[in-house]
């Protein structure tokens, strides 16, 4: 994809359904009794991988006229897959599904693409093994492909060293199949879609926050059945983030991003935009299926650098690439700390973000747990090496809109992982 600078992005846009929530609807619907009807499902490659895996385990899932219907077979209704489960590029599919597979009475193998198969899985293998699961890394490198065989699970209390919703959700899902209570404490609260949605499906699940620290605990009791639900997936704030940034950065712009999820465990980007001096207003705030939603109005603004660290990091971890672009355009220095997790995303995003920023003429320095960006220098066009990371492709597409000259986004088709139609969506705002 080749892009150049523009002015005047104006109009309304609705972004596709939230990726995290779309995955969970299919997974929980598959192990619930009765049908789950999903509106505004994200038909991105990652969520389609989740659908493919559950179909392989005997679940009928239909996609028609804007509705995805999952014909759930109950907590013990999955059947042994005949082939290896292909999780594609999706960490969420891998880690959450491993929690469900650990509780099954059949053996399974799961594997993904090169990026997925190099991401750390010891973070789920360790707690699942403590619960009595039999899970191993086939190549003995603590990565997928994973092999999971029948085990008898017991509830544990797990102190997670990382604030990760994938780890927390994996353990809670295994907890549905365990003897006794299972709980997970994380150093600070990660996205809580699993807790909110499992409760809607009828699970006995609760969350607590320690008063004097930022630690958060979620606990679950095994239950007899979950029950199918009707769900409308909110627009994905991680996808909305590119239009929010475009609205703030491209001269003479005003964009309304409609029906976007603003769950506080996901909405750190909104605070960052405000702290950087962005003109951003939430309209029409409401709650749907336990999830907060709003329309987000953004107008072109002069931004300034800030420091981003501590508990806000898990609430904006996927938005750091686009925040880095805003920082490059802002006056002054932006420091991002406490974000070591960036190293184990689809790419090492500390490296992919700073390398590509440097290619565009920005002074960006990687640090062991984040980056330092000296903003305010004009950006120029460059070849962007996405390394097939969808968020790098989209973030640097926005950088291209404010850079002098042409920018070429290599392997830009990788946006399909979370946002098929990303480039077409811009045309409606021109």
Q: Tell whether residue 26 is a contact of ligand S3P (CB under 6 A).
A: no
Is 73 or 193 the residue whose CB approaches ligand S3P more closely?
A: 193
| Contacts of 140 by beta carbon, 8 Å cutoff, 6+ apart | none
Other residues' Cβ atoms within 10 Å of the Cβ of residue 308: 23
The two structure tokens encoding residue 63: 């996609």
Give dist(CA 137, CA 146) in Å, integer.
5
Tell me which of 46, 236, 318, 416 is the catalytic residue. 318
Is 236 or 295 the residue whose CB approaches ligand S3P more closely?
A: 236
Q: Compose the 286-325 pattern: x for residues touching ligand S3P by CB under 6 A, - for all others.
A: -------------------------------xx-------
Is 78 or 317 the residue whose CB approaches ligand S3P more closely?
A: 317
Is 238 or 412 the residue whose CB approaches ligand S3P more closely?
A: 238
Is 111 or 169 the residue whose CB approaches ligand S3P more closely?
A: 169
- Per-residue b/e over 119-141, b at no fewer than 16 CB within 10 Å? bbbebbbebbeebbbebbbeeee
The beta strand positions in 165-262, using DSSP E, are 182-186, 204-209, 216-221, 226-227, 230-232, 254-261
Q: Tell whether residue 20 is a contact of ligand S3P (CB under 6 A).
A: yes
Give dist(CA 138, CA 152) in Å, integer.
21
Kindly indicate which of the ranges 164-172, 198-206, 304-312, 420-428 contains the residues binding ligand S3P, using the contact rule CB under 6 A: 164-172
Residue nearest to ligand S3P (CB): 20
Q: Do 109 and 79 contact (CB within 8 A), yes or no?
A: no
Among 36, 92, 239, 334, interactor with ligand S3P by CB under 6 A: 92
Q: What are phi and psi of 307, to 5 degrees?
A: -105, 135
* 318 catalytically annotated: yes
Give dist(CA 219, CA 159) in Å, integer.
12
The two structure tokens encoding residue 233: 């997936």
Other residues' Cβ atoms within 10 Å of the Cβ of residue 180: 11
Cα–Cα distances in angstroms (integers) from residue 89 to residues 47, 108, 190, 295, 322, in the given order: 10, 18, 21, 30, 20
Kindly indicate which of the ranges 9-17, 161-169, 298-306, 361-369 contains the residues binding ligand S3P, using the contact rule CB under 6 A: 161-169
Residues in 184-243 that interact with ligand S3P by CB under 6 A: 190-191
Is 92 or 386 the residue whose CB approaches ligand S3P more closely?
A: 92
Is 20 or 352 the residue whose CB approaches ligand S3P more closely?
A: 20
Residues in 336-365 that interact with ligand S3P by CB under 6 A: 341
Report, in Å, the least distance between residue 167 CB and ligand S3P.
6
Residues in 30-89 that interact with ligand S3P by CB under 6 A: none
Helix, strand, or coil (residue 357): helix
Q: Do 242 and 397 contact (CB within 8 A), yes or no?
A: yes
Among 111, 164, 239, 407, interactor with ligand S3P by CB under 6 A: 164
Q: Tell whether residue 111 is a contact of ligand S3P (CB under 6 A).
A: no
Kindly indicate which of the ranges 53-61, 72-80, 158-166, 358-366 contains the residues binding ligand S3P, using the contact rule CB under 6 A: 158-166
Q: Do 11 and 253 contact (CB within 8 A), yes or no?
A: no
Q: Tell whether residue 165 is a contact of ligand S3P (CB under 6 A).
A: yes
Is 343 or 413 the residue whose CB approaches ligand S3P more closely?
A: 343
What number of residues does the chain have? 430
Give dist(CA 204, CA 201) in Å, integer.
9
Q: Do 388 and 414 contact (CB within 8 A), yes or no?
A: yes
The two structure tokens encoding residue 8: 């005047």
Residue 43: which of 69, 14, 68 has the closest Cα? 68
Report, in Å, the least distance between residue 163 CB and ligand S3P.
7
Q: Tell whether residue 415 is a contact of ligand S3P (CB under 6 A).
A: no
Report, in Å, the least distance between residue 6 CB and ligand S3P.
29
Report, in Å, the least distance between residue 115 CB and ligand S3P.
13
Residue 194: which of 17, 418, 27, 317 has the closest Cα? 27
Q: Which residues are catalytic?
A: 318
Give the residues lining the site for ligand S3P (CB under 6 A).
Answer: 20, 92, 164-166, 169, 190-191, 317-318, 341
């Amino acid at each position: 994809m080749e892009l150049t600078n523009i002015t005047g992005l104006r109009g309304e846009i609705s972004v596709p359904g939230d990726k995290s929530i779309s995955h969970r609807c299919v997974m929980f619907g598959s192990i619930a009794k009765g049908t789950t009807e999903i509106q505004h499902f994200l038909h991105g490659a990652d969520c389609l991988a989740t659908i493919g895996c559950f179909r392989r385990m005997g679940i009928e899932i239909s996609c028609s006229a804007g509705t995805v219907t999952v014909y759930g077979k109950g907590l013990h209704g999955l059947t042994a897959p005949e082939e290896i489960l292909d999780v594609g590029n999706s960490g969420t599919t891998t880690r959450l599904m491993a929690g469900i597979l650990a509780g099954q009475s059949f053996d399974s193998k799961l594997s993904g693409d090169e990026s997925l198969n190099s991401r750390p899985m010891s973070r789920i293998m360790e707690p699942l093994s403590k619960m009595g699961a039999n899970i191993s890394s086939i190549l003995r490198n603590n990565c997928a492909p994973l092999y999971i065989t029948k085990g008898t699970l017991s509830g544990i209390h797990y102190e997670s060293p990382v604030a990760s919703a994938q780890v927390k959700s994996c353990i809670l899902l295994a907890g549905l199949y365990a003897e006794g209570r299972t709980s997970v404490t994380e150093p600070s609260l990660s996205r809580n879609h699993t807790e909110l949605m499992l409760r809607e499906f009828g699970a006995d699940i609760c969350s607590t926050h320690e008063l004097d620290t930022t630690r958060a605990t979620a606990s679950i009791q095994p239950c007899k059945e979950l029950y199918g639900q009707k769900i409308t997936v909110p627009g994905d704030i991680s996808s909305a983030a590119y239009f929010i940034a475009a609205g703030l950065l491209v001269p003479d712009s005003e964009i309304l991003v409609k029906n976007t999820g603003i769950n506080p465990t996901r909405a750190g980007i909104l605070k960052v935009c405000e702290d950087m001096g962005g003109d951003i207003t939430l309209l029409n705030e409401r709650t749907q299926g336990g999830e907060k939603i709003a329309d987000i109005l953004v107008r072109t603004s002069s931004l300034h650098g800030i420091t981003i660290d501590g508990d806000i990091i898990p609430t904006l971890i996927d938005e750091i690439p686009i925040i880095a672009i805003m920082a490059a355009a802002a006056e002054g220095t932006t420091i991002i700390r406490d974000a070591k997790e960036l190293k184990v995303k689809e790419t090492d995003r500390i490296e992919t973000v700073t390398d590509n920023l440097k290619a565009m003429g920005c002074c960006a320095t990687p640090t062991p747990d984040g980056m330092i960006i000296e903003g305010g220098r004009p950006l120029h066009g460059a070849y962007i090496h996405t390394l097939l990371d969808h968020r790098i492709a989209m973030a640097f597409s926005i950088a291209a809109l404010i850079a002098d000259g042409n920018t070429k986004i290599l392997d830009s088709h990788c946006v399909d992982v979370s946002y098929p139609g990303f480039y077409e969506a811009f045309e409606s705002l021109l």
